[in-house]
Amino acid sequence: MDYEIKSLSTKTHTEEEIQWLWRFHDTLREDDKRELIAAEGSTEKAIRTSIESSEDCFAVTGEHGEPLVLYGKCVIENIPGRMIWCMATTELKPYEREFARVSRRILQGWAEEYGILWNAVGDFNEPAKRWLRWCGAEFGNPLVLSGELFIRFYIRRK
């Protein structure tokens, strides 16, 4: 299946990008919504904060223009490597295998460049934890955000 990955500005957006982001928001996977609400209080705020705090942000669109994935990487002052984030819509299902292959290459490349990638994933989010393992993640200590249990993860340079 065809898909397109586009760089998304972290500061300003065209009307077309805004419409894409609203469609993305409206079709978010339930586990992703749960993570975003725990982290930021609302899905809208979490999406905006993720984009605006990123040094690079990317939007993945399916062959019919449907929003699939939004992901990026952030520099966090005084912390080595990059904090990474990824959220997806229910439309990703037919693209999951290709997404896993491509994203693993991207994340391994970033890990080589920055030394370590890190963040936390909802302990309840089994599909995301499976994907992270596939991408080479190691899991660390738990933390609680807004009453939800999260697990820290790391992807290190090989």
pLDDT tens column, 72-115: 999 999 999 999 999 999 999 999 999 999 999 999 999 999 99
Whole-number pLDDT of residue 17 = 94
pTM (two decimals): 0.95
Half-sphere exposure of residue 29: CA atoms within 13 angstroms, side-chain side? 20
| Average pLDDT of span 112-120 | 98
CA dihedral angle for residue 85, residue 42, residue 10, residue 154, rounded to 10 degrees: -10
Please report the pLDDT score of residue 43 as a whole number.
98
Residue 147: predicted pLDDT: 97
Report pLDDT for 1. Answer: 72
Domains of the chain: 3-156 (3.40.630.30)
**CA triple 66-5-121, angle to 5 deg:** 85
Q: Checking DSSP bridges between strand 116-122 and strand 148-156, what pairing results, if any?
A: antiparallel
Tokens of 78: 């005084």
